Amino acid sequence: MHNEHSDTHFQSRIDNGEHIEAKDYMPEGYRKHLIRQMSQHAHSEVIGMQPEGNWITRAPSLRAKQILLAKIQDEGGHGLYLYSAVETLGVSRAELIEQLQTGKAKYSSIFNYPALNWADIGAIGWLVDGAAIVNQVSLQRTSYGPYSRAMVRICKEESFHQRQGYEIMTTMMRGTKDQQAMAQDAMNRWWWPSLMMFGPHDSDSPRSGDAVKWKIKRETNDELRQKFIDKTIPQAELIGLTIPDKNFKLDEKTGHYTLSPINWEEFHRVVSGHGPCNKQRLDHHIKYHQEGAWVREAAEAYKLKTAKKELVTA
Partner 1 sequence: MTTKDATYNYAIRLGDNALILGHRLSELCSRGPILEEDLALTNVALDMIGRAQALLKYAAELEGKGHTEDDIAYRRAEINYHNHLLIEQPNGDFAHTIARQLYLSVFEYLFFTELEKSKDATLAAIASKTIKEVKYHMQHAIDWTLRLGDGTVESHKRMQKGLNDLYMYTGELFEMDHIDTYLLHQHIAVDTLSLKAKWQSEIEKVLTEATLSLPEDTYMQTGSKKGVHTENLGHILSEMQYLQRAYPDAKW
Q: At residue 6, what are phi and psi to the nearest 5 degrees?
A: -105, 155
Which residues, 6 or more positions from 160, have their beta carbon under 8 angstroms from its beta carbon? Answer: 71
- Which of 2, 15, 70, 234 binds partner 1 (CB under 8 A)? It is 70
Which residues, 6 or more positions from 214, have their beta carbon under 8 angstroms from its beta carbon? Answer: 11, 14, 30, 33, 143
Minimal distance in Å, beta carbon 213 to partner 1? 33
Which residues, 6 or more positions from 24, have their beta carbon under 8 angstroms from its beta carbon? Answer: 10, 13
Candidates 29-37, 65-73, 126-134, 189-197 — which segment interacts with partner 1 by CB under 8 A?
A: 65-73
What whole-number distance in Å separates Cα of residue 108 and Cα of residue 170? 26
Question: Total residues contacting partner 1 (rule CB under 8 A)?
Answer: 43
171 binds partner 1 (CB under 8 A): yes
Ranges of H-type helices in 48-92: 49-53, 62-87
175 binds partner 1 (CB under 8 A): yes
For residues 119 and 271, which CB has a smaller minimum distance to partner 1 in the complex?
Answer: 119
- Which of 178, 223, 237, 283 binds partner 1 (CB under 8 A)? It is 178
Candidates 136-144, 223-231, 250-258, 288-296 — which segment interacts with partner 1 by CB under 8 A?
A: 288-296
292 binds partner 1 (CB under 8 A): yes
Minimal distance in Å, beta carbon 43 to partner 1? 11
- Length of the chain (residues): 314
The dihedral through the CA atoms of 41, 147, 85, 121 has a sign that is: positive
- Which of 206, 261, 288, 313 binds partner 1 (CB under 8 A)? It is 288
For residues 60 and 273, which CB has a smaller minimum distance to partner 1 in the complex?
Answer: 60
Is residue 83 exposed (0-12), middle (13-18) or buried (19+ Cβ within 10 Å)? buried
User: 12-44 burial string, b = 16+ CB within 10 Å, else e?
Assistant: ebbeeeebbeeeeebeeebeebbbbbbbbbbbb
Candidates 147-155, 172-180, 219-227, 261-269 — which segment interacts with partner 1 by CB under 8 A?
A: 172-180
Minimal distance in Å, beta carbon 140 to partner 1? 24
For residues 53 and 145, which CB has a smaller minimum distance to partner 1 in the complex?
Answer: 53
Binders of partner 1 in range 248-287 (CB under 8 A): 284
61 binds partner 1 (CB under 8 A): yes
Residue 162's Cβ-side half-sphere holds a number of Cα atoms within 13 Å equal to 19
Residues that bind partner 1 (CB under 8 A): 46, 49-50, 53, 56-58, 60-66, 69-70, 72-73, 76-77, 79-80, 83, 118, 171, 175-176, 178-179, 284, 288, 291-299, 301-302, 305
